[in-house]
Amino acid sequence: MRHSHVAYVIIRLPTIAGTSLLLRKHEKWGDWSLVGGHVEDWEIDDWSRAALREASEELEPLVAEQDFCVSPIHNEPFTWGPERSRSAHGERTLYHIQYFNLAFLRDPIELLSRLPAAEFILVPESAIDSEGNALGRPVHRARRFLAGIEAVAPAWGKALDIQCIPTGMRRTTQDKGATRK
């Protein structure tokens, strides 16, 4: 049986309109998902390395340990399955997932402005379950495994003015699918 080891990074940003998740466009599946990916063989003893590597790759040009850091939300990976894998031609797969929290070490408004706006979106937590949202399975699984994403620490200590966030990344609760404001 196939095993899949994945590290996901949750980025919760408090705004004056409420807390939102920063999600990255997943080209392969055509949805918005968490930052993260597969744990490499050399990282299997320390999934924090995988989370930091994945965040560094997917949040480039931001720099790990200078612009942000990651920390585990729980000590051991969650396991579920086996279920048929979408990426492995339906092969039955046992999944092992560990979630990490991202904390910005510098002003998130400046850091977000450095990211490619077409590849990221800020989704209000209140809109996660809305019909028409093109959110990936990892977002919904995180809510299930973590008993609600609301318990994850925010990535910054104070609320951000939504008007200061790059326009292409803003999403309102009324938006549908991948439509942007």
> What gap in Å lies between CA 26 and CA 139, rounded to an integer?
12
Phi, psi (deg, nearest 5) at residue 127: -100, 0
- pLDDT at residue 28, rounded to an integer: 85
Per-residue pLDDT 10s for the chain (181 aa) are 999 999 999 999 999 999 999 999 998 888 999 999 999 999 999 999 999 999 999 999 999 999 999 999 999 999 999 999 988 899 999 999 999 999 999 999 999 999 999 999 999 998 887 755 689 989 989 988 998 898 899 999 999 998 999 988 987 544 444 433 3
> What gap in Å lies between CA 28 and CA 106, rounded to an integer?
31
> What gap in Å lies between CA 171 and CA 167, rounded to an integer?
9
Query: 78 exposed, middle or buried (CB, 10 Å; 0-12, 13-18, 19+)?
Result: middle
Which two structure tokens, joined as six digits, stand for 145?
């495994």
Give me the domains of the chain, ranges plus CATH numbers: 2-169 (3.90.79.10)
pTM of the model: 0.92
- Sign, CA torsion 134/137/139/140: positive
User: Which amino acid makes up residue 144?
Assistant: R
Distances in whole angstroms, Cα of residue 165 to Cα of each of 13, 31, 111: 11, 21, 10
DSSP state of 38: E
DSSP state of 152: S
> What gap in Å lies between CA 17 and CA 30, rounded to an integer?
27
- Nearest C-alpha neighbor of 106 from the set 152, 139, 73, 59: 59
Tokens 């019909």 — which residue?
A: 131
- pLDDT at residue 131, rounded to an integer: 53
